């Protein structure tokens, strides 16, 4: 008797024997077909990957193709060859050495030296002095509808303490060249970038290059003391002339290329931490030191300092922090990227919302693990706290009535000065209550028997983060052009990833001028690690790195000139 399989499968009960028959007849073939289909899809995806669905560098760590200027000429080709020659290297070293010999510890008259050293620049570009020593060069382009490119550097250097002069291998203002390095204060911070920019423009002028896009050069003179007279006057001058957002891209000093996790990276700074100095004053009764209380003002201030140092900030990676993108690049491409970090990163990337990652006081496991690498990495994602200055007491037989110390903070991306104020006020409150002192945090004047908190007018919130998208095409954005220029110079083995500056550059005053701000030192000497001893004994820069900075600047100017940003 024939069975009505349609009726049975629609709901009629089956006898046990017939259930087995139905399973073999219907279910097993379906499972078999499904298994074959899955195997086929797996094999075909592995053997013939579909770029739209297979994870690739374009999804996790986008890398652009090297970008070479399309506009070629015999003069341009000759310039490229000249910039790679020993003749140019020797001439460039001589120019940089001459600039280092000028001891611009605060500022000095760089003008005559630059005018003599770069005659075509000074004959062809418009030169304006802003606030006496600020230098603004304008190379007018033929298409006024294009936003200008702006290259920056500063003329001043940090002082060389007399007590350290004898520790230098070569005198700090000698500009000595040993065949590999140029030595001296300012050699790597940042007269090398200033001279390289001018050398690139001089070479372009010699090659009859005529820009389509206006090029601006802006050189402050007091960056090492916060730039309030230099960049702080140059930036408003430019905003008034070109308007807010009136510049296509800005390149200032920043980190050089480096090896990270077994791969070579360029990490142009697309963000900067914030900055605030907090002054704390402890006012307590004075008197003769022969009859001291159990704790005087210096003792109370010391306890407060101890508590501040015991209650520092934990590492926290905000979604906007560029170091997160650098880690994603490392996880994808770097052979020595730690497996534990990779797992934590994958776990974080699975989370669908920022709130899930950063609620209440939940610890940031990824940031905590990443910060174990070294202190520099830790402070890329942590608000730093450093007690740098202290004053108290006037005489050995008089109890101190007023003790003051200053706490410097570099504010993490995703945090703010208000977070800092609340944190340090909370610590001070505990000490004030313990000793019966009044607390006036950031809103009052000093009174007797009190702890008073205030902040300096140099307060700065974390910088806006420069966009790092690539657009529909690799080189549709300023970040794409910078990346392409860099990989054209150093090859495709070099990866480009967003970076962050723990300190601040003169760009702190240029936020209104462009959203595309890059803090980057494009010169690369593989024999030199770090920043070339900036701010300390034996500051130096590799001659090869300096020449490569010139080549990079010339290439970036040309690539920006051909872009339609």
Tokens, residue 192: 């090398």
Closest CA to 315 of 307, 324, 306: 324
* Mutual angle of helices 86-100 and 74-83, in 10-degree steps: 60
Is 391 labelled a binding residue? no
Backbone angles phi, psi at 442, to 5 degrees: 65, 20
CA angle 209, 215, 217 (to 5 degrees): 120
Distance between CA 329 and CA 322 in Å, rounded?
11
CA distances from 442 to 281, 384, 425, 456 (A): 12, 20, 9, 11
CA angle 24, 29, 31 (to 5 degrees): 105
Residue 463 contacts residue 446 (beta carbons within 8 Å): no
In the block, residue with structure tokens 């300190």? 503
- Choose, from 156, 199, 222, 325, the residue flagged as catalytic: 156
Is 133 labelled a binding residue? no
DSSP 3-state assignment of 372?
coil
* Mutual angle of helices 417-434 and 297-310, in 10-degree steps: 130
Task: Clarify whether 223 is annotated catalytic.
Answer: yes
Is 252 labelled a binding residue? yes
Please give, one letter per residue, the 3-state secondary structure of 135-199: EEEEECCCCCCCCCEEEEEECCCCCCCHHHHHHCCCCCCCCCECCCEEECCCCCCCHHHHHHHHH
Is 535 labelled a binding residue? yes
Distance between CA 553 and CA 199 in Å, rounded?
9
DSSP 3-state assignment of 101?
coil
Residue 318 contacts residue 482 (beta carbons within 8 Å): no
Burial per residue of 289-312, b for 16 or more beta-carbon CB atoms within 10 angstroms, e otherwise:
eeeeeeebbbbbbbbbbeebeeee
Is 288 labelled a binding residue? no
- Choose, from 199, 202, 222, 223, the residue flagged as catalytic: 223
* Mutual angle of helices 74-83 and 543-562, in 10-degree steps: 160
Residues belonging to the binding site for Zn(2+) are 154, 189, 224, 252, 535
Q: Which residues are catalytic?
A: 156, 223
Which residues sit in the known binding site? 154, 189, 224, 252, 535
């Amino acid at each position: 008797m024939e069975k009505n399989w349609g009726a049975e499968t629609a709901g009629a009960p089956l006898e046990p024997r017939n259930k087995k028959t139905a399973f073999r007849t219907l279910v097993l073939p379906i499972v078999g077909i499904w298994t074959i289909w899955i195997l086929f899809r797996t094999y075909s995806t592995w053997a013939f990957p579909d770029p739209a669905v297979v994870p690739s560098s374009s999804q996790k760590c986008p890398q652009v193709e090297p970008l070479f200027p399309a506009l070629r000429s015999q003069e341009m080709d000759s310039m490229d060859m000249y910039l790679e020659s020993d003749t140019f290297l020797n001439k460039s070293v001589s120019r940089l050495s001459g600039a280092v010999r000028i001891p611009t510890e605060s500022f000095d008259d760089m003008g005559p030296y630059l005018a003599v050293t770069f005659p075509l620049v000074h004959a062809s570009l418009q030169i304006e002095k802003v606030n006496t020593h600020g230098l603004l060069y304008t190379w007018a382009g033929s298409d006024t509808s294009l936003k200008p490119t702006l290259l920056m550097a500063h003329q001043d250097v940090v002082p060389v303490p007399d007590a350290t002069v004898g520790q230098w291998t070569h005198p700090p203002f000698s500009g000595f060249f040993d065949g590999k390095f140029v030595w001296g204060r300012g050699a790597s911070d940042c007269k090398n970038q200033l001279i390289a920019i001018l050398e690139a423009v001089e070479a372009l002028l010699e090659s009859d290059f005529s820009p389509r896009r206006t090029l601006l050069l802006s050189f402050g003179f007091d960056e090492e003391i916060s730039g309030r007279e230099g960049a702080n006057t140059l930036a408003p001058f430019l905003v008034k002339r070109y308007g807010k957002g009136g510049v296509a891209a800005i390149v200032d000093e920043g980190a050089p290329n480096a090896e990270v996790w077994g791969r070579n990276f360029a990490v142009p700074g697309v963000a900067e931490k914030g900055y605030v100095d907090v002054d704390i004053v402890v006012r307590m009764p004075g008197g003769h030191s022969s009859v001291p209380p159990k704790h005087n003002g210096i003792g109370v201030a010391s306890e407060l300092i101890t508590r501040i140092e015991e209650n520092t900030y934990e590492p926290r990676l905000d979604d906007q922090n560029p170091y997160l993108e650098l880690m994603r690049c490392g996880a994808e491409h770097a052979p020595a990227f730690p497996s534990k970090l990779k797992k934590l990163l994958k776990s974080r990337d699975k989370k669908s919302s920022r709130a899930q990652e950063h609620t209440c006081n939940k610890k940031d496991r990824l940031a905590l693990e990443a910060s174990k690498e070294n202190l520099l990495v830790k402070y890329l994602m942590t608000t730093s706290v450093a007690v740098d200055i202290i004053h108290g007491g006037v005489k050995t037989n008089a109890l101190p009535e007023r003790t003051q110390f200053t706490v410097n903070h570099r504010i993490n991306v995703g945090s703010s000065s208000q977070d800092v104020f609340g944190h340090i006020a909370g610590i001070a409150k505990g000490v004030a209550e313990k000793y019966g002192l009044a607390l006036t945090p950031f809103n009052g004047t000093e009174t007797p028997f009190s702890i008073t908190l205030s902040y300096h007018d140099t307060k700065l919130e974390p910088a806006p983060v420069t966009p790092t998208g690539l657009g529909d095409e690799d080189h549709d954005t300023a970040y794409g052009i910078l990346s392409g220029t860099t990989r054209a110079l150093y090859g495709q083995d070099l990866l480009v990833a967003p970076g962050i500056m723990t300190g601040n550059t003169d760009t702190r005053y240029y936020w209104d001028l462009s959203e595309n701000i890059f803090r980057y030192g494009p010169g690369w000497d593989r024999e030199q690690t770090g920043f070339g001893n900036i701010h300390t004994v034996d500051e130096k820069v590799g001659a090869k790195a300096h020449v490569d900075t010139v080549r990079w600047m010339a290439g970036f100017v040309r690539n920006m000139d051909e872009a339609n940003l």
